[in-house]
Amino acid sequence: MPVKLCKEGTTLVAFLSGEIDHHSAIALREAVDGAIKLVKPQKLEIDFSGVTFMDSSGVGFVMGRYKLVSFYGGTVVVKNASERIEKILSLSGIEKIAQIERRDKAV
């Protein structure tokens, strides 16, 4: 499974890895949604540090998790996305529903 989940207080962290496309997004949704329904986190952090490729299915994944987490009164934070993935997320308007924590850029 391309996701590792861990609970840190009232935060649920989803560490994603590999490619996020139509097929892999199904397994991601099932795993993360199950954890959200169980934990009901105040914050969901989606960590993209291990993601090598993402298409529009990744945008849909974030939007759907936002909808579910907000039902429980929580927020979503996207972390550690590569420049390419961050650009896809920004162009989609994800910043309107989720906070994006940008990677530190090497100087």
Contacts 24+ apart (CB under 8 A), 89-93: 89/58, 89/59, 89/62, 92/56, 92/59
| pLDDT at site 2 | 79
| pLDDT at site 11 | 98
Whole-number Cα distances in Å, 27 to 8, 22, 71, 90, 91: 22, 10, 21, 24, 25
Q: CA 32 to CA 98: how far, in whole Å? A: 16
| pLDDT at site 107 | 42
The structure tokens 């990744």 sit at 58
| pLDDT at site 102 | 82
What is the value of pTM for the model shown? Answer: 0.92
> pLDDT averaged over consecutive 10-residue blocks of the chain (107 residues)?
90 97 94 97 97 95 97 97 94 95 65
Q: Where are the alpha helices (DSSP H) in 1-107?
A: 22-39, 56-71, 83-92
